[in-house]
Amino acid sequence: MSAILRRAKPPSLAELRTLFQPFCQKHRIRRLDIFGSAAHATETTNSDIDMLVTTDESTPPSTAELLDMAGEAEELVGVPVDFVLRHSLEKSPNRYAREHILATAVCVYGS
């Protein structure tokens, strides 16, 4: 992963929708949601972007593919990103975090 040239502020939701359409198509991502501060316009210059990634469960990405995707996403948006796989979140024993993320996530790709 190369060094990230950090933007002055994270991209807006509209910018993320545009930036991530080809990325999601390339990586066979069925749905991409943003949660946390970037989803609710409360981010700061030090914020990352939290991403809830839905892939086809019949052909899940390998760990290496996920790391490559995260690196590519960081270069695309100019800020660090955190990937959370939807199928992993749905199995999480942390009910509060799971429910909060699912209730507040904003879709930027897919439906």
Spell out the domain ranges in the chain.
13-109
Q: Which CATH architecture has domain 13-109?
A: 2-Layer Sandwich (3.30)
Predicted TM-score (pTM) of this structure: 0.88
Per-residue pLDDT of the chain (111 residues; tens, 9 = 90+): 445 556 667 788 999 999 999 999 999 999 999 999 999 888 888 889 999 999 988 888 899 999 999 999 999 999 999 999 999 999 999 999 999 999 999 999 997
pLDDT number for residue 1: 46
Collect all residues with Cβ–Cβ distance below 8 Å to 29 and sequence separation of at least 6: 23, 53, 54, 55, 109, 110
Select from 34, 38, 83 the least CA-distant residue to 61: 83
Helix (H) and strand (E) counts for the chain? 4, 4
Angle of the 63-77 helix axis to the 13-26 helix axis, nearest 10: 140
